[in-house]
Structure 1
């Protein structure tokens, strides 16, 4: 974080696309799909009605019907699961963090099961910014090395090493994270 008192305002103001209109390159949603370009910025937090399941091979890491979906312009939703619905003893602090201009300071987690380990595969916002308070007590998982399911559908990970959205068949893009999407 910067010592400049206006840094957060400037960080939030940088985004051109805010869900008010779709850019000309946005895919037209098919029947039953939602365009990620209709999601707002700042993001909205929506209670997810579908069951969310996270598997690491045959090990069930988490299962919940009480997740929050964070929906932000150009991103597939990121699902935040209550820590109470994550199998105890699997998450270990990663000792690193980052900062989101919408959600606040993030804490990262490793997934550890005996000799198996996935570093920085999850993150949380223990002290979220105003507007993101429901995320306190929740954790999100990157889908890159896990089998993540939304309502029974296998989710594909959002491109890029930083973004944690899950792409499901009910979404149309294109999705932020791929080459050339940095300014979206």
Structure 2
């Protein structure tokens, strides 16, 4: 399978095809919000973005950005070749549960230590996510947790036919 042709980059945009592999983590001052059950459950302007070739950024919010009682640990882990073992949480608000919608790296691997005590959220599993007021489009596919905004251009991995990129 051939690598796809990157989309043109406009002013103020970045191409996911310039992101590195292995991925890079960088601090972000963008205002990030997560909504579930009709309300905001997390908000922070001190987040981190993980940037990996062909993927829209995944945002990690400090655990303290989440409302009290929203995070419910669940059994089971997965392993990322770059960041290590991930642990999962249901996001819970009155009358609503987003199953395994958030994850964290309790003991992240070297180079990703700043993700300790931070959580990522799967945008497709919640009502809405926002970056600087712009509503996020979830990355295609159920495996990846990328946040698509007008700031990034693809094409993005995750959709049909992209597995071998």
For normalisation by structure 1, the TM-score amounts to: 0.85
Higher relative contact order (CA 8 A, sep 6+): 2
How many correspondences in the alignment? 164
Name the counterpart of 2:119. 139
- Tell me, in whole angstroms, the C-alpha distance in 1 between the residues paired with 2:95 and 2:29: 35
Say whether the 8 Å CA contact 1:143–1:155 is kept in structure 2.
Answer: yes
Say whether the 8 Å CA contact 1:93–1:109 is kept in structure 2.
Answer: yes
Name the counterpart of 1:32. 12
Q: Structure 1's 116 and 57: CA in aligned 2 closer, same or farther, altered over 3 A?
A: closer
- Tell me, in whole angstroms, the C-alpha distance in 1 between the residues paired with 2:49 and 2:127: 18
Offset at residue 181 of structure 1 (A): 1.0
Name the counterpart of 1:95. 75
Name the counterpart of 1:81. 61
Q: Structure 1's 106 and 32: CA in aligned 2 closer, same or farther, altered over 3 A?
A: same
Offset at residue 32 of structure 1 (A): 2.0
Name the counterpart of 2:104. 124
> Could you give the per-residue CA deviations for residues 111-135 of structure 1, whole angstroms, max 9, x where no partner exists?
1123321111111101111111000
> If each structure's strand is expressed as a fraction of its own residues, which one has the higher value?
2
Return the index of the structure with the highest Cα Rg: 1
Name the counterpart of 1:152. 133
SS in 1 for 2:69: coil
- Tell me, in whole angstroms, the C-alpha distance in 2 between the residues paired with 1:172 and 1:115: 36
Q: CA RMSD in A?
A: 1.6
Offset at residue 31 of structure 1 (A): 2.3
SS in 1 for 2:64: helix
Offset at residue 24 of structure 1 (A): 5.2
Q: How does 1:60-79 map to 2 (within 5 A)?
A: 60-79=40-59
Say whether the 8 Å CA contact 2:108–2:115 is kept in structure 1.
Answer: yes
Of 27-36 and 118-127, the range deviating more from structure 2: 27-36
Offset at residue 179 of structure 1 (A): 0.9
For normalisation by structure 2, the TM-score amounts to: 0.94
Which runs of at least 4 in structure 1 moved beyond 3 Å after TM superposition? none
